[in-house]
C-alpha cells in the first residue's frame, strides 16, 4: 500500500516508523589499514577519487574528516571481513545522514511547540555473492539471525560529535551484523533456488554502476524563529472567531539533511538538502457528524521561498471560508460519470494509478501485481499523453518541486526518465535492482532515514498534446454528461492525497480523497459545492478514459509513503477530463461535536488586518 499526502511528515524516524504524523567518502589522506601490499592495490581508485575532491574542498571541512573515517572503515571491512569457509562481501556502502529540524506550531493564538532537534543516522549495505546473484531480499525481509541467547540489534545512530573513532566504531558494529545477516540470506537463497524453475530472463540482483564523485558546498539553514512565532500566534488566533472549527494549527518547519556516502565501487558523495514547510490547517464537523478538514501547505528549499505574512493570513481566511462552506454543503450519493480533475487532483491520479506501478521493484516478486511487466513498447495511455519523472527539476513555473535531488540513496545521479511517450510505455523508474531489459539504475533508489532504498517517484510530470481552455473543458464535461444522460458532471478542484494497492494479494485499485468537489448542472452550468465522496477505481480503466486536458500546469507537493518510508515528491499535470469516474461514499462520521462551545467563542475577536 502506498500513500500520498500534501502535509509533511516529521522527518524524525526510528528504524522505519515515524514518531508522529505532524504536517514533517572521500579519502582525506590516510585511511589505509595495515602495511600489507596486497591491500593497497584495491583502494588506489579510492585514493585517486579522494585527491580530486580534496583539492577542490577546503581542508577544514569537517564533513570530509568524517567521510575519510567512513572510507577507512569501509576498506578495512571489505578487505578483511570474512567468516571462515564462507564468502566475503563483494559490495559494501556506508551512508550517514545528519538531520536538523526546527519547528514552531501555534493553536488558538498560543504557541504549542517551539522545538528543535538534531540526530545522525547510519545505513550500511553489505552484499554477499556477486552482481548477478547476491544476498539481497525484498524490503522488510532483511534481518539478523541468532541461534541461541538473546538477539542483539545494533543501534543505527551516528555520533553527533565529529569523532572519526566513534563513527568508525558504530559502523564496525553495524557492518558485522549486516555481514552475518547477508551471509545467512545468501545461503538461504541458494537453497531456495534449488526448488525454483530456472528463468533465463531473471535479471541480476544488483546493477554495477560507475562511481559518483561530488562534494556540495555547505548550505545554510536560517530560521527566523521570532518572526514565525509571532505570525503563528496571530494567524492561529483568527480561527477563534469560528467556534465551529474546533481545532486548527499553524506550523512552520525548517529541515536540513547532510548526507555522506561511500561505496566499494569508489563513490564519494557529500550532499546537503533543505526543506521549509508552512502549514495552515483546521478541522470541523458537518451537522450530520462527518469530519471535515482543510489546509494550505507550502514548501520551499529556502526560508525566503515561503509565503509572506499577507499570503499566510489570506490562506487562513480561505481555509476558514471553505470549511464553513463545506459544513453547509449537501452530501451526495455515490456517482459514476464524467468529471474534471483540477491540475493537482489530476497529478494525484497519475501518481497513484501509473507512477507506483512503473516503479522497477514492482515488476518482480510474488507479492507484486506487476501491472506493467512486459508491456514496454505497448500502448498504456491515450496517444496524446506522455509521462516522465525528473529529479533534476528544481522548479516548475516558478514553484519549487519537493522531488528534487542530485543523487539517490544508492549513490546514483538522479536522471530524467521518459516513462510513457505518446501513450506507449518506454521505461521504468529504476534503482539498482535491475528489471528485465533495463540493467542500469536511472537514479530513483529512494528511502527515508535508514530504510532500504527501492525505486520511487521524484517529480512526476504529465504532458499532453490535446489541450483546451478551462471554459472549453467545462463545455466538454457538460456535453459528455448529457450524452450519458447524467443530470450533472463533477469538477474536483482540490484534493488531500490518495493511496493505492499494487500487491498481488489485493485488488489492483486506487483511491483519492477530494476536498473541494463541485456538481455542475448540465442545464445551467451552475456549480454547487458538495461533500461526502471519495474517488475510487482500477488504474487501467481510469487512465484510459481520459478525454482531454487543460492548458495550465499545476503542482502538487507532498510526501509519498511506501515500504521505504516517506519521501518528498511532486506531481506536475494539467487539468484532465475523464469520461467516467467512480465516487464512493466517504466514511460517515457520527461522533457528536463538542458539547459546550469553545471558550474562545465568548471572547471578543481581535481586529483582523485585511489580507
CA–CA distance from 298 to each of 23, 293, 390 (Å)? 11, 17, 21
The answer, yes or no, to whether residue 11 has pLDDT greater than 70, is: no
Using CA atoms, how far apart are residues 164 and 96, in angstroms rounded to an integer?
Answer: 12
How much is the average pLDDT of 493-515? 78
- Checking if the pLDDT of 19 tops 90, the result is no
Least reliable range by pLDDT among 52-66, 356-370, 524-538:
52-66
Domain co-membership, 500 together with 375: yes
Closest CA to 77 of 68, 88, 66: 88
pTM for the model: 0.86
Q: Which three cell numbers stand for residue 68?
A: 575519510
Does position 407 have pLDDT exceeding 80, yes or no? yes
For residue 532, is it left (φ>0), alpha (ψ between -120 and 50) or beta? left
pLDDT band for position 44 (50/70/90)?
Answer: very low
Verify that 475 and 427 share a domain, yes or no. Answer: yes
Q: What is the DSSP letter of 360?
A: G
Do residues 464 and 531 both lie within one domain?
yes
- Stretch 561-578: mean pLDDT, rounded? 94
| Whole-number Cα distances in Å, 140 to 181, 191, 451, 453, 563 | 13, 20, 9, 11, 8
Q: Collapsing DSSP states into helix, strand and coil, what is residue 210?
A: coil
388 inside domain = yes
Give a yes or no: residue 113 inside a domain. no
Q: Looking at the structure, tell me whether residues 312 and 357 fall in a common domain.
A: no
Among 321, 355, 370, the domain-final residue is 321
Q: Which of 35-39, 91-95, 574-578 has the lowest mean pLDDT?
A: 35-39
Q: Which residues, at least 6 apart from 111, have a Cβ–Cβ distance to it below 8 Å? A: 104, 105, 229, 232, 233
Would you say residue 18 lies in a domain?
no
Task: Establish if 458 belongs to a structural domain.
Answer: yes
Would residue 106 count as lying in a domain? no
Element (H, E) at 188: helix 164-193
Is the model's pLDDT at 240 over the cut of 90?
yes
Residue 569 lies in a domain: yes
Cell numbers found for residue 309: 505574512
Helices (H), 12-104: 37-40, 44-55, 62-80
Q: State the CB neighbour count (10 A cutoff) for residue 191.
A: 9
Grade residue 503 by pLDDT with cuts at 50, 70 and 90. low
Please state, in angstroms and rounded to a whole number, the distance separating the CA atoms of residues 473 and 128.
56
> 186, 210, 234 — which closes off a domain?
210
Q: Which residue has the higher pLDDT, 189 or 1?
A: 189
Instruction: Identify whether residues 400 and 303 lie together within a single domain.
Output: no
**Residue 507's pLDDT is what?**
64
Element (H, E) at 539: helix 539-543
The three grid cell numbers given for residue 410, joined into one nine-digit string: 544508492
Predicted confidence at residue 16, as pLDDT, reads 30
Which of 96, 91, 172 lies closest to 129, judged by CA?
91
One domain for residues 361 and 453: yes
Largest CA distance in the chain: 87
Segment of 285-289, 324-328, 370-374 carrying the highest mean pLDDT:
324-328
Last-in-domain residue among 288, 321, 354: 321
Could you tell me if 272 and 350 lie in one domain? no
Q: What does 177-245 look like in DSSP terms, one character per residue? A: HHHHHHHHHHHHHHHHHTTSPP-TTPPPSS------EEEPPP------HHHHHHHHHHHHHGGGG-TTS
Q: Which of 441, 419, 422, 421 is nearest to 431 (CA)?
A: 441
- Distance of alpha carbon 209 from the chain centroid: 24
Same domain, 281 and 341: no
Residue bearing the bigger pLDDT, 542 or 387: 387
Q: Are 498 and 443 in contact (CB under 8 A)?
A: no
Q: How many CB atoms are closer than 10 A to CB 58? A: 10
pLDDT of residue 366: 67
Take residue 545 and report the three cell numbers written for it.
478514459
Q: Average of pLDDT values for 127-155? A: 72
* Partners of 584 in the β-ladder: 534
Q: Are residues 356 and 396 in the same domain?
A: yes
Average pLDDT of the chain to the nearest whole number: 87
Q: Are 103 and 113 in contact (CB under 8 A)?
A: yes
Same domain, 436 and 528: yes
The reply to whether 436 and 561 lie within a common domain is yes
> Residue 396: which domain range?
335-585
Query: In whole angstroms, what is the distance from residue 95 CA to residue 79 CA?
Result: 19
Are 231 and 247 spatial neighbours (Cβ–Cβ below 8 Å)?
no
Q: Is residue 596 part of a domain?
A: no
Distance between CA atoms of 603 and 238, rounded to whole angstroms? 12
Domain of residue 303, CATH code? 3.30.2290.10
Q: Which of 155-164, 368-377, 595-604 has the lowest mean pLDDT?
A: 595-604
The CA distance from 413 to 347, in Å, is: 25
CB 568 within 8 A of CB 275: yes
The count of domains in the chain is 3
Q: 275 lies in a domain?
A: yes
> Is the same domain home to 253 and 181?
no
Give the span between the Cα atoms of 300 and 278, in whole angstroms. Answer: 9
Residue 22: predicted pLDDT? 39
Amino acid at each position: 500500500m502506498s500513500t500520498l499526502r500534501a502535509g509533511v511528515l516529521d522527518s524524525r524516524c526510528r528504524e522505519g516508523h515515524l514518531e508522529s504524523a505532524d504536517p514533517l567518502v572521500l579519502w582525506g589522506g590516510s585511511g589505509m589499514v595495515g602495511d600489507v601490499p596486497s591491500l593497497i592495490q584495491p583502494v588506489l581508485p579510492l585514493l585517486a577519487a579522494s585527491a580530486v575532491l580534496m583539492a577542490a574542498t577546503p581542508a577544514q571541512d569537517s564533513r570530509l574528516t568524517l567521510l575519510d573515517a567512513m572510507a577507512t572503515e569501509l576498506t578495512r571491512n571489505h578487505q578483511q571481513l570474512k567468516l571462515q569457509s564462507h564468502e566475503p562481501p563483494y559490495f559494501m556502502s556506508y551512508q550517514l545522514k545528519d538531520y536538523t529540524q526546527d519547528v514552531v506550531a501555534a493553536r488558538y493564538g498560543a504557541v504549542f511547540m517551539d522545538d528543535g532537534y538534531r540526530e545522525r543516522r547510519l545505513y550500511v549495505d553489505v552484499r554477499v555473492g556477486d552482481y548477478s546473484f547476491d544476498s539481497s531480499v525484498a524490503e522488510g525481509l532483511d534481518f539478523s539471525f541468532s541461534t541461541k541467547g538473546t538477539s542483539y540489534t545494533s543501534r543505527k545512530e551516528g555520533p553527533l560529535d565529529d569523532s572519526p573513532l566513534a563513527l568508525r566504531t558504530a559502523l564496525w558494529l553495524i557492518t558485522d551484523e549486516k555481514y552475518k545477516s547477508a551471509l545467512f540470506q545468501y545461503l538461504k537463497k541458494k537453497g531456495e533456488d534449488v526448488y525454483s524453475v530456472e528463468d533465463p530472463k531473471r535479471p541480476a540482483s544488483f546493477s554495477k554502476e560507475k562511481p559518483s564523485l561530488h562534494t556540495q558546498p555547505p548550505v545554510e539553514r536560517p530560521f527566523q524563529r521570532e518572526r514565525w512565532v509571532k505570525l503563528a500566534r496571530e494567524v492561529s488566533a483568527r480561527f477563534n472567531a469560528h467556534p465551529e472549527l474546533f481545532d486548527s494549527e499553524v506550523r512552520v518547519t525548517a529541515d536540513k539533511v547532510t548526507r555522506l556516502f561511500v561505496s566499494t565501487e569508489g563513490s564519494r558523495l557529500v550532499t546537503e538538502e533543505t526543506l521549509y514547510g508552512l502549514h495552515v490547517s483546521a478541522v470541523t464537523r458537518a451537522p450530520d457528524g462527518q469530519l471535515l478538514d482543510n489546509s494550505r501547505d507550502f514548501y520551499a528549499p529556502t526560508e525566503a521561498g515561503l509565503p509572506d505574512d499577507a499570503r499566510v493570513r489570506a490562506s487562513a481566511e480561505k481555509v476558514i471560508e471553505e470549511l464553513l462552506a463545506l459544513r453547509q454543503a449537501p452530501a451526495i450519493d455515490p456517482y459514476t460519470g464524467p468529471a474534471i480533475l483540477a491540475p493537482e487532483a489530476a497529478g494525484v491520479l497519475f501518481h497513484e494509478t501509473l507512477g507506483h506501478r512503473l516503479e522497477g521493484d514492482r515488476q518482480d516478486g510474488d507479492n507484486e501485481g506487476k501491472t506493467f511487466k512486459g508491456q514496454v513498447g505497448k500502448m498504456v495511455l491515450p496517444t496524446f499523453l506522455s509521462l516522465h519523472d525528473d529529479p533534476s527539476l528544481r522548479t516548475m513555473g516558478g514553484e519549487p518541486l519537493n522531488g528534487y535531488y542530485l543523487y539517490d540513496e544508492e549513490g546514483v545521479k538522479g536522471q530524467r526518465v521518459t516513462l510513457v511517450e505518446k501513450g506507449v510505455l518506454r521505461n521504468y523508474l529504476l534503482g539498482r535492482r535491475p528489471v528485465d531489459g533495463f540493467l542500469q539504475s536511472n537514479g530513483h533508489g529512494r528511502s527515508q532515514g535508514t530504510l532500504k532504498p527501492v525505486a520511487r517517484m521524484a517529480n512526476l510530470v504529465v504532458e499532453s498534446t490535446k489541450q483546451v481552455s478551462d471554459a472549453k473543458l467545462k463545455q466538454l464535461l457538460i456535453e459528455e454528461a448529457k450524452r450519458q444522460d447524467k443530470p450533472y458532471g463533477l469538477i474536483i478542484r482540490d484534493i488531500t492525497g490518495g493511496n493505492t494497492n499494487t500487491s498481488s494479494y489485493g485488488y489492483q485499485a486506487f483511491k483519492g480523497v477530494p476536498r473541494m468537489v463541485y456538481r455542475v448542472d448540465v442545464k445551467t452550468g451552475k456549480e454547487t459545492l458538495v461533500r461526502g465522496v471519495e474517488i475510487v477505481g482500477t488504474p487501467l480503466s481510469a487512465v484510459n478514459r481520459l478525454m482531454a486536458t487543460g492548458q495550465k500546469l499545476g503542482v502538487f507537493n507532498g510526501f509519498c509513503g511506501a515500504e521505504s518510508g516517506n519521501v518528498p515528491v511532486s506531481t506536475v499535470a494539467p487539468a484532465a477530463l475523464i469520461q467516467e469516474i467512480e465516487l464512493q461514499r466517504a466514511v460517515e462520521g457520527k461522533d457528536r461535536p463538542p458539547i459546550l462551545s469553545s471558550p474562545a467563542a465568548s471572547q471578543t475577536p481581535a481586529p483582523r488586518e485585511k489580507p
